[in-house]
Amino acid sequence: MSDLEDIKIRARRFAEVRDWEQFHSPKNLVMALSVEAAELVEIFQWLTEEQSERLSDETLARVVDEIADVQVYLVRLADRLHVDIAAAVVQKMEKNEDKYPAELVRGSARKYSDY
């Protein structure tokens, strides 16, 4: 599986075969996405910056699983709402380039409204 379209099709089939479409409303998918994102956050919660850069193999495997869970729910949500994720990302990056001009924000973590 190499792209979002493949992931979307596989995730859709996974849900259909299990008769889970009935549970995959956008509301429920967003809630599940939030839970999976929180599980990813939990792994990093008490790590120092340095520790977060040097994960053990076991911890990295947990991170990989949670990233995959987040991605699957995000793809399912986009599928249910007929959103092209790749196109949405390109559009959002263009907006971000306008909001955060490199010459104004380089080296700063301030929010765009502070510029």
pLDDT of residue 57: 98
Give this prediction's pTM: 0.87
Q: How confident is the model at residue 2, as a pLDDT?
A: 63
CATH architecture of the domain with range 4-83? Orthogonal Bundle (1.10)
Answer for the pair 22, 104: CB distance below 8 angstroms, yes or no.
no
Query: Could you tell me the residue ranges of all domains in the chain?
Result: 4-83, 84-115
State the DSSP string of 22-91: GG--HHHHHHHHHHHHHHHHHHHTT--HHHHHS--HHHHHHHHHHHHHHHHHHHHHHHHHT--HHHHHHH
Q: Provide block-wise average pLDDT over 10 residues at a time, the chain (115 residues).
A: 86 97 97 98 98 98 98 97 96 95 89 79
